[in-house]
Amino acid sequence: MAGTLYLVSTPIGNLSDITLRAIETLRTVDQIVAEDTRNTRRILDRYNISTPFAESYYQGVERERTPHLLSLLEQGKSLALVSDAGTPLISDPGYPLVRGALKREIQVVPIPGPTALIAALTGSGLPADHFAFDGALPRKSGEREAYLRSIAREPRTVIVHSSPHRLFSDLEAIAAILPERKVVLARELTKVHEEFLRGTAQQVLDRLRTRGEVKGECILLLAGADAAKESANRELGQQLAELLMREGVSGKAGLRILMLATGMKRNEAYPLLHRS
């Protein structure tokens, strides 16, 4: 009989933020599959857990090590997958292992607990009934700009991961593309220096620059687009499109002007310039 793969959520900072079920699972499985055994060891020592580690499982070795872990599960071993912090698979390794287990009809059991993005969302003050999590902003400036333009009319709260060495450039990009959008920076969640900074991207950026260095895990939350403003923006787009056509500015030049002036996507701006 095959074993069971448990996906165990662990603290994102404060070691007290762990469920009784997570502790019990980590104690009773045959082996623990950790992203970094050094980080997970702190939790095991805190709660007197002596379960041995399997091979570590981190980004870059997932495909290489998945077959052996699946073999252990098929032999009847129970495994607990944990990431460095939070819930496995949420911007952390584990997807190939879960997919492989399900294809072999091996039971996969989530052990819920801390997730940084949910903690950030609930404490942000932004709407939490509809939201989108998009991992991290693209590293390349052109791709990052394109992504931010793509969410200009997104009505949901958008959540992205950042880091100390990318935070300033991420905020600068948001300030340039979405200057009026409300932004929340959640930093060092559940730790001693936990904080939330709120305002426009430029306002948050100005506050951070007075400090110099920024440390700790960072999560950025962007408020959704305002429906009334978007309606007014579309009306402006229609008026601008009519003006461009009257002045004989059409084709690619007119389309680019309309997109830059209104923040519309190509498939939204194009019909306004090509109405029969």
Q: How far apart are CA 188 and CA 12, in angstroms?
A: 9
Number of structural domains found in the chain: 3
Domain that holds residue 99: 4-113
Q: pLDDT for 85-94, tens place per residue?
A: 999 999 999 9
- Do 128 and 76 reside in the same domain of the chain? no
* Type of residue at 93: P
- Do 101 and 43 reside in the same domain of the chain? yes
- Do 183 and 215 reside in the same domain of the chain? yes
Cα angle for residues 23, 87, 120 (degrees, 5° grid): 115
Q: Strand, coil or helix: what is 267? A: helix
Residue 276: band (very low, low, confident or very high) from pLDDT cuts 50, 70, 90: very low
Greater model confidence, 56 or 215: 56
Cβ contact 32:104 at 8 Å: no
- Do 8 and 109 reside in the same domain of the chain? yes
Cβ contact 101:5 at 8 Å: yes
Q: How far is CA 153 from CA 12, 32, 251, in A?
A: 32, 43, 24
Mean pLDDT of all residues belonging to the chain: 92
Q: pLDDT for 101-118, tens place per residue?
A: 999 999 999 999 999 999
Q: pLDDT for 171-220, tens place per residue?
A: 999 999 999 899 999 999 999 999 999 999 999 999 999 988 888 899 99
Q: pLDDT for 7-16, tens place per residue?
A: 999 999 999 9
Q: pLDDT for 66-81, tens place per residue?
A: 999 999 999 999 999 9
- Do 69 and 126 reside in the same domain of the chain? no
